[in-house]
Amino acid sequence: MMFSNIERKIKELEEELKRIEYNKTTQHHIGKLKAKIARLREELEKRRRKAKGGPGYDIKKSGDASVAIVGPPGVGKSTLMNALIGKSVSQVGNYLFTTNKVVPGMMEHSGINVQLLDLPGLLEGASEGRGNGRKVLSVVRSADLALIVLDVYTYEFTEVILREMYKAGIRINKRRPNIKVTKTGTGGIQIHASNDVGLSMETIKEALIELGYHSAEITINERSITIEDIIDAALGNRAYIPAIFVLNKVDLVIDDINYLRNISYYFRSLGIKKEDSVAVSALKGWNTDVLKEKIISKLNLVRVYLKPPNGSPDYSSPLVLKSPARVADVCEKLGENFIEDFKYACVWGRSVKYPGQRVGLEHVLSDGDVITIY
């Protein structure tokens, strides 16, 4: 199939899907259609990569974590980045598409260095390559957190961004389902589930067959799943990224309570939780400190302070690790010799029962713990 043929087939299947009302009777057919659409999208993406090729944005990662700032043109992403960093790093203009490449900058907060990546504006059709959209989305896929930035006049573009990210295999603020799909040589499709997961076994089997699995073992350790969860697990190339939705330029409508309330209702209608969103004015600096705190919290990082034997803790430069952080992770970050020569560690902080408790390599540390390695 050429690109146009695959795209036409996807559109036909999507139109058919819209016409079907979901119930137990249609569940099987809907599952098969969604799996077929997913397979065709995968095929289309492979052909596009082969045809266009070329590298993505060349970004040298630094800091303790990376945050992708993504949104449509003209919403103030560059102004926001400069406000978070505290100095002018990204070019700001009063015209669209000021940012035409990835601009990195470093935000320091609470002893943590966060690399911010100001991305070119995301357009509808980005997942298909419009406006270098596939390059932009590839940066989001590899980030530790996404800041999805809209302003008070473009907030309804949120649906477009979520749709483009979904098509690109990015799952926002969603936990990776505990589903394992393993291809086998023979035996057909065997499904192992400890309880009723909300889908019929036949629906799951047909979806897997549509995705190219004829003999496989699937283990489901979830109480309830969707057919999308099965498809994502079978394809195995989804990125699960935490995100904060940032509403910029609130200073322009600060006195219009009803307008702001409607925006809030809109976000809630999309399933966006209050704790995952923040209203700011990057230009005036309103709520940027709140946003910084949300970024640090959402990254779920652990700061550990090193204490030499018979010495004092070094509180000036914490060791920053991704949660859950074990003593072994501290040793690995310090160097191979620390693992090889490890005897025990003493820990002070919330993760232990008493100050200076001896622990082993598998002990899980809490944020703010002090550790001495022997």
pLDDT digits (tens, 9 = 90+) for 35-70: 999 999 999 888 887 776 655 677 888 999 999 999
pLDDT given for residue 94 in this prediction: 57
pLDDT given for residue 49 in this prediction: 78
Instruction: Give the torsion through C-alpha atoms of 245, 249, 250, 256, to 10 deg.
Output: -130
pLDDT given for residue 95 in this prediction: 52
Say which range, 129-133, 172-176, 192-196, 347-351, has the weakest mean pLDDT: 192-196
Same fold, 65-174+239-299 and 301-373: no
Confidence of residue 185 (pLDDT cuts 50, 70, 90): confident
More confident of the two residues 253 and 25? 253
Say which range, 77-91, 226-240, 359-373, has the weakest mean pLDDT: 77-91
pTM: 0.90
Percent of the chain's residues with pLDDT above 70: 95
Beta bridge partners of 114: 65, 107
More confident of the two residues 130 and 48? 130
Mean local confidence (pLDDT), 109-130: 94
pLDDT given for residue 308 in this prediction: 94
**Hey, how many other C-beta atoms are within 10 angstroms of the C-beta on 142?**
14
* DSSP code string of 261-287: HHHHHHHHHTT--GGGEEE-BTTTTBT
* DSSP code string of 76-131: -HHHHHHHHHTS--S---SSTT---S-EEEEEEETTEEEEEEEPPPP-TTGGGTGG
Which of helix, strand or coil describes residue 328?
helix
Confidence of residue 196 (pLDDT cuts 50, 70, 90): confident
Query: Where do the structural domains in the chain lie, given as residue ranges?
Result: 3-53+177-235, 65-174+239-299, 301-373
Distance between CA 322 and CA 241 in Å, rounded? 14
pLDDT given for residue 297 in this prediction: 94
Q: For residue 137, give both structure tokens.
A: 């989305």
| Peptide linkage before 324 cis (omega within 30 of 0) | yes
pLDDT given for residue 2 in this prediction: 58
Distance between CA 231 and CA 35 in Å, rounded? 6
- DSSP letter assigned to residue 238: -
From the list 238, 188, 203, 199, the residue with the least C-alpha distance to 222 is 199
pLDDT given for residue 133 in this prediction: 92
From the list 56, 54, 57, 53, the residue with the least C-alpha distance to 118 is 57
More confident of the two residues 62 and 196? 62
**Hey, how many other C-beta atoms are within 10 angstroms of the C-beta on 352?**
19
What would the pLDDT profile of 283-322 be if each residue is shown by its tens digit? 999 999 999 999 999 999 999 999 999 999 999 889 999 9
pLDDT given for residue 93 in this prediction: 56
Rounded to the nearest integer, the mean pLDDT of the chain is 92
* Backbone phi, psi, residue 114, to 5°: -115, 120
Distance between CA 97 and CA 117 in Å, rounded? 15
CB-based contacts of 143, cutoff 8 Å, min separation 6: 66, 67, 68, 117, 241
Contact 271, 172 (CB under 8 A): no
Amino acid at 246: V
Mean local confidence (pLDDT), 208-215: 93
Distance between CA 143 and CA 168 in Å, rounded? 14
The CATH architecture of the domain made up of 65-174+239-299 is 3-Layer(aba) Sandwich (3.40)
pLDDT given for residue 260 in this prediction: 95
**Hey, how many other C-beta atoms are within 10 angstroms of the C-beta on 158?**
21
pLDDT given for residue 141 in this prediction: 94
pLDDT given for residue 269 in this prediction: 97
Mean local confidence (pLDDT), 139-143: 95
301-373 belongs to CATH 3.30.70.260? no
Q: What share of the chain is helix, strand, coil (3-state, %, to 5)?
A: 40, 20, 40
